[in-house]
Amino acid sequence: MSMRSILVFAGMAFSALGVLGSASAQDPRYGGGPGYGGRPDVVDCKSTGYNYQQCPVPWRDARIVQQFSGTQCRRGQNWDFDRRRGFIWVDRGCAARFVDASGGGYYPPGHGPSNPPWQPGPDWNHNFAVRCESIGNGDRFCQVDVGGRGQVYLQRQESSSPCIEGRTWGWNRAGVWVTQGCRGVFTVDRRW
């Protein structure tokens, strides 16, 4: 057997192991299935390479408790729950940890009923407006805590330069960014 044949064979073997490894995280036949660390009430579901992925769960609905991706996971856009067939689907880069939306008492690692994780006060979840302006076509970041499940919307454009989400303005959990002369008032729908 030539050295080239050995290398080709070794490459095919490692590729097969990689496929088996990715399948084991989701396929109950490999001890994975829904759950995190063997817990059936938690599942990590991720869109690897911006591809569509299904993660079967025995729930009636799901909610995100932790987002792993840089891409914002938005329900109905790049993730949702298929009630009829019983799975969470993710797409276009969304990666997150999901739990049963009916409650179920999920606590992050290191926490439990006697040591719950920090929660904000009752006035945390509310809407408010933030003005953010790109001066001289420069980049600007307006810091505001949007929260893990919050959203930001353009309420009113105040510039002659267009404010186009994803191109001249956007947001993440830490705030709103603007560029290329976009100036506007943004509604922050802050949610824990």
* Tens digit of pLDDT at every position of the chain (192 positions): 555 555 445 555 444 444 333 333 333 322 334 444 445 578 999 999 999 999 998 888 888 888 898 889 999 899 999 988 889 999 999 999 998 877 655 555 665 555 655 667 777 788 999 999 999 999 999 999 888 788 999 999 999 999 999 899 998 888 999 999 999 999 999 887
Q: Is 81 in the same domain as 139?
A: no
Is 46 within a domain? yes
Q: Which of 88, 80, 36 is nearest to 58 (CA)?
A: 88
The beta strands (E) that lie in 61-174 are given as: 62-67, 79-82, 87-90, 95-100, 126-133, 140-143, 151-157, 169-172
Of 82, 100, 118, which residue sits at a domain end? 100
Is 165 within a domain? yes
Is 130 within a domain? yes
Of 49, 83, 100, which residue sits at a domain end? 100
Is 79 within a domain? yes
Is 106 within a domain? no
Q: Is 47 in the same domain as 96?
A: yes
Containing domain of residue 147, as a range?
126-190
Which position has the token pair 């079967």?
A: 56
Sign of the CA dihedral with 76 first, then 105, 119, and 68 last: negative
Alpha carbon distance 38, 159 (integer Å) = 53
Alpha carbon distance 100, 98 (integer Å) = 7
Is 16 within a domain? no
Q: Is 93 in the same domain as 155?
A: no
For residues 165 and 138, is the Cβ–Cβ distance under 8 A? no
Total tally of structural domains belonging to the chain: 2
Q: Is 132 in the same domain as 72?
A: no
Is 12 within a domain? no
Is 134 within a domain? yes
Alpha carbon distance 93, 71 (integer Å) = 6
